[in-house]
Structures are given as structure tokens and as C-alpha cells.
Structure 1
């Protein structure tokens, strides 16, 4: 029997979005299970209120969700999770995929640097992701085209990669869209799991929200499109976990 893949919850979307379309973990689970994969099992674990973190050896893979929290706030639950991630990565046994907040927390836990984006604006909407040369032989990214569309919504970014990490992809407005550390530890700033209606509603909510973390921090132009190639990354990660 295969070990399950664990979705580690670090936050949730806006209530209006989850009521209509589901939440981060729902979309991630749909992506992991998008391709037929015999024996695939998925569990969820909310890291925010947990007294103890699970044993990574009990899982075939780990996916970290996004969050509206900020990594630089260094909340106690996030710091505990970061130490756990660093330990998991050092052991190098369980494949990991951090998404958005998970990507940033993973980078920080492994010795990288996270901060507000330099333009103090959200990167939001559908962006074109360009793969770097290092992605050519990557187990997760090699099957993707050289450029593909993905959904993004974030105010903070990875400013410096962890020591030894490989930059795999970037967008025109963010230089670190994906990295790999070691053999099977990935971070992606973009949201492979996001359906188009979710990013449309994120944009509408932020446009209606005044101030430096709302409408004033939005870029002047935002593109919106479906992102099937990015979504396929999750099923590829699931297959990698079960065949590792």
C-alpha cells in the first residue's frame, strides 16, 4: 500500500471564494488526483494550531499551501513549521512542494531570504513563467514547455535563494518563480492549483479594498487566462511521489 501525500495547510482563501469555489487544499487535492494514479491517498494537516508536527517518513510527499499570512511576521506556528521543513529537507527522504507562502517559508527555512516585493505591489493575475536552463533535466519541470502561464497573487517574494538551491523559473515581474533544493524539494511562487474564477475574485476583492495592501498596490494592467499547464504540475508531483 502506498503512503499518502500530505497537504500541510498554512492558511485559507477569502470566505467568499471558498464558499463558491473551495479552498487552497481542495484545489491542490484536485490537482494531485487529476490523472489516474492507482493507490493515491491524500491527507490534510493544519499546521497553525498543531501541538506537534507529523513524522514526514509516514508520507510519500508533502505539499505546503499558500496563506494570507506573511513569512516575515515569523509567527510561532510558522517558525515551528520552518524548522520541521529544514529537518525534512536535510533528511532528503520525502519529496516536498511549497506553494506561494509554502515556497517562501521553505526558502527561508533553508537559509534564503524573503521580504516584500521591491516594487511594493502585488504580482497578481496570469503571468508567463519562463524556465531557466537548470530546469531542463528537472524531474518536475522538464515536461513543461519553456514558457507557460500560471496564476499568481503575492506581496512578498524570495529575494535570495537558499545555499545550493537551483533557480528553475522566473516571470518578468518576479525573478524567483521556482527553485529546487537537493533532489526532491521544490518551491513555486505561482499557484498551480488556482482555477481561473479564484484569481478573478482575488482581483475583484483587492480592487475593492483601499490602501497600500489593496487597490493602491495593484499593477496597472492584469491579465487573466486559464492555466492548464501549471495545473498539470500537481499530478506530475503526485506521480513522482508514488514512484520515487
Structure 2
């Protein structure tokens, strides 16, 4: 049976894990609703197990978010870069999310770092570029759609040969494509409304410090079905 690998790069906050599951569980909940019989999902915690799975055993790769920062260049994170480069060279289907988005961009020649405008949290509108409207993964989405976001760092400089698929007023690089079947997104397709609100609650002080209103952000959290659909749509390319 072919394996779709979730590369775990971090843990959600304890109260989120207790109530909703950790990052990999949020991914699994979305994937299992559309998982074909010939695929199974496995999890590799790249922080705790330094031995990367052999790429020829994998049908696809998903990379989770993390509370780590790509620019800190932690050894486990840096060790992922050549593995991701090999996966791209092998045309292994990939989808990176948040930290995974920033890590893929850094691995392929871009720069990920703190966003000068600060943190982006809550449910916000993301807009497809013209390339995004033609992209095989994104083309079935509306030109503008809601997405859950929680990040302090962003892809500040894209790799030379990638394509920008989506953007918004905060972040010029909300979604990128690197090869024929390799994508990454800054937003969280795996988040639910309760998870998004729990993140805003955790970030209340930081959001206030940068002039945001956490109460308003929490009240404006809505369902984001189009963004969520990307995880299941990704399985069609595996």
C-alpha cells in the first residue's frame, strides 16, 4: 500500500491537542474523508527521529506547521532541506503548510523570515493570481476565498523558479508552486473554527501589542471550506 507521509515539524498548544488533536491529527481528519483505498497515512516526527524515510517508499508528502521559526535554522529543520530538494528532483508530490511553506521556500533557494508588518492571525481573504486560476490544484477554487492564518514569519523572497499562486493584503506569497506537483501554502487548510479561535486566544497579548483587536478577530472567524478542500484535492496528484 502506498504511503502519504505527514512530516510533523511541531506541536499545537496543549489545550488544542487535548480538545482537537495535534497538527498531524488535524491533517488526518481532513485526509481520511477522501483517502483512496490504495493509500495510507503515516506520520514522521522530523524533530525526534533524524532518519528520513526513503523517498521511493512515499506516494506524497505533507509538511505541518510549527511554533519553531525557519530562520532559527534548527539542526533538525536544516537537515530536512536536502531531503526536500531530492523530493522535488524526484517529482514527489508535496504540500507544505505554514512552517512547511516557509521551509520549502528556504530549501529551494528563497528566504523565510519575520514579516515586517508583524503577525497575521484569524480568518482572512486570500486571492488567486492569474497563475493560481490556471493551476491544476487551485483552479477549482474561487478567485477569492477565506483561509485560517496564524504566522509571524513569511516567505519574504521566493525561489527563482517558483510560481506565486495566491496572495493577500498582508502577504504576497500565500501559495506557491515549485514543480509540477509541489505546492505550499501559508494558510492552514487543516484548521477548524474552534482551532483558529484557540490560536487567537493564545496570541491575545501579541496581537494587542501590534494594534490588533483579538475580540474582533475571534468574532470574524468563519468556516473556510475552499481552503480546507486543498488537502483532499492534493490526494488526486498522489
Fold-level similarity (TM above 0.5): yes
- Residues 124 and 147, structure 2, Cα contact 8 Å, conserved in 1: yes
Cα offset for 1:19?
0.2
Equivalent position SS for 2:109 = coil
Equivalent position SS for 1:175 = coil
Summarize the alignment of residues 224-243 of structure 1 with structure 2, pairs less than 5 Å apart: 224-241=221-238
- Residues 50 and 76, structure 2, Cα contact 8 Å, conserved in 1: no
Match of 1:216 among 204, 209, 212: 209
Alignment correspondent of 2:99? 101
In structure 2, what is the Cα distance between the partners aligned to 1:56 and 1:217?
42
In structure 1, what is the Cα distance between the partners aligned to 2:124 and 2:207?
19
Cα offset for 1:218?
6.1
Equivalent position SS for 2:30 = helix
Cα offset for 1:217?
3.7
- RMSD of equivalent CA atoms: 1.4
Structure 1 stretches of 4+ with a deviation exceeding 3 A read: none
Cα offset for 1:82?
1.5
* Alignment length (residue pairs): 234
- Residues 122 and 218, structure 1, Cα contact 8 Å, conserved in 2: no
- Could you give the per-residue CA deviations for residues 80-120 of structure 1, whole angstroms, max 9, x where no partner exists? 0122111211222x10000000000000000001110111x
In structure 1, what is the Cα distance between the partners aligned to 2:67 and 2:152?
10
In structure 1, what is the Cα distance between the partners aligned to 2:52 and 2:176?
24
Summarize the alignment of residues 35-184 of structure 1 with structure 2, pairs less than 5 Å apart: 35=34, 37-92=36-91, 94-119=92-117, 121-184=118-181
In structure 2, what is the Cα distance between the partners aligned to 1:50 and 1:125?
32
- Residues 123 and 219, structure 1, Cα contact 8 Å, conserved in 2: no
- Residues 46 and 52, structure 2, Cα contact 8 Å, conserved in 1: yes
Q: Give the unaligned 5+ runs of structure 1.
A: none
